[in-house]
């Protein structure tokens, strides 16, 4: 079985009027055979960034996939300046091994 790590550049922009903090994330990775892998945890790449209004946070995520094609979706768990929790859904997007699309 070939296993490929796909780096995924991510930019999170705060389009609101108040600062927010990313506390956690959840990803559902589905390979081309329908096998699902769940990934969840605190923060992203070891940090729980605070993002001011109009600012952005960038990092590189990644997915391990055993097939040339797959999908990924999930959500971020956030809090606002008052400590109120909310979730930002990340719609499904395609994963493809780069050599497959060149």
Total domain count, the chain = 1
**Considering only CA atoms, which of 86, 89, 22, 91 is closest in space to residue 52?**
22
Q: What is the pLDDT of residue 3?
A: 87
Rounded alpha-carbon distances, angstroms, from residue 12 to 15, 26, 53: 9, 15, 11
Contact criterion met (CB below 8 Å) for 92 and 72: yes
* Residue pLDDT tens, the chain, 102 long: 688 899 999 999 999 999 999 999 999 999 999 999 999 999 999 999 999 999 999 999 999 999 999 999 999 999 999 999 999 999 999 999 887 655
3-class DSSP state of 88:
strand
Task: Say if pTM beats, i.e. exceeds, 0.85.
Answer: yes
Q: What is the pLDDT of residue 45?
A: 92
Let me know if residue 101 belongs to a domain. no
Residue 30 sits in a domain of what CATH number? 2.60.40.1470
Q: What is the pLDDT of residue 95?
A: 95
Residue 51 to residue 64: CA distance in whole angstroms: 28
> Residue 71 belongs to what domain range?
4-84
């Amino acid at each position: 079985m070939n296993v490929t790590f796909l780096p995924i550049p991510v930019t999170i922009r705060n389009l609101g009027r108040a600062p927010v903090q990313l506390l956690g994330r959840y990803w559902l990775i589905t390979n081309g055979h329908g096998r699902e892998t769940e990934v969840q945890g605190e923060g992203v790449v070891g940090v729980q960034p605070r993002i001011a209004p109009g600012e952005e946070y960038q990092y590189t995520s990644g997915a391990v996939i055993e097939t040339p094609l797959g999908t990924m979706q999930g959500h971020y768990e956030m809090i606002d300046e008052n400590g109120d929790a909310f979730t930002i859904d990340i719609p499904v997007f395609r994963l493809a091994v780069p050599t497959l699309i060149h």
